[in-house]
Structure 1
């Protein structure tokens, strides 16, 4: 499998699960995707779990930590690479977003900050150290997409265009859909919650990661067997067959079986 040695600025680079029970969540995702999980002890920040493909030596796929507060809902957070975290935070605040967690050194792994956009959707920034981000993407059992669900798509275009310099391309799948792009590279997508609620579930504005699976229907069925929920039944769209899921704690994610392989993402 092609492994990733780095992520360009403005692109998704990592996904992190906040769980009320990291042991149970680790078992669920390892059984669902065939991941391995190991624990790092980060000085002053406590334990941090890392999911990998294969075994402890395999490429990193995603991270996991305990919920900081019992009042927080379990969730996946999408991280975006930046080369200057302070300047990006200044831009976020000037564009109407908020800083939730200030720049924080995560040992020698890198530096992070947690933010929200103008509608309250959480996302995070990452400046890599020894952890460049996901060590593999766009492969089975790895992250292959990130998606924003929001109420005001025009406002989201403005905000993320200011923050990351993203351009947009409009698509028409089962509902109007927006691709965020940097140059020729698609970095993620956006859907209106109003449209999404017709087909799937009610939700507040949020980002979710997509993970590539070989069989979307089998993964959805396996999710239910393991105690999770299928929020959107497997559905065919032009890029492939996908489903929106919730793990046993309620954290949302999506899986997709691509319709075909057209080569690198920038060519799609």
Structure 2
């Protein structure tokens, strides 16, 4: 068994204000996305997007935060928030849903691209390959917070988490940081600018977004086998956790999106 690191989840105390590691990870993730998307727009000489990068990033950040919070409220604890509606605003107490954030950022990005005449699918492909960086950092933030820990186990690298009782558990946050962060980033980044993608009818604009949805869903379904289910929900259907159930819909959505985009590209070539 490994000792859980004795790290204060609060990085800096500024009187009544606190700067937490988890919040810092969000900020670092947003900065990484900004820099990596900016690098790609310069590389591909897409001046229209480069000129609107700051405004679009702000819109997407709002989409992530609003979608993530509302997703948690609706997917994970609706009865509590119906009884305590003011607590919906208490984001500092924790409670964000990746799937809700994903929906929020897609809607926000689609609206912005439509209003400013940007190619949504092309834009989405540039952004989505950077998302795993933020995901990996966010999971490290979960680990430092001692939250979203794993199920009870006797593996040699198990840890006793402060909020998980006296029993050793999987450090599932680190599994997610590696799979959702490192592995997904390496796969997507290595594929993003392959020249054969432009020539193949099976890699239209939007395919990188679809691939992300598919791969993330598969990773999340797998890693939830090691993560303690949310106590207020447990398993919700067919022995699946809420994260797994939402990921099944995500997997279906990503597959359908890819097939639709392939047909759209083929139809455009014929016409």
Name the TM-score class by shorter chain. under 0.3
Which structure shows the higher helix fraction? 2
TM-score (norm 2): 0.26
Which structure shows the higher strand fraction? 1
**Which structure is larger by alpha-carbon Rg, 1 or 2?**
2
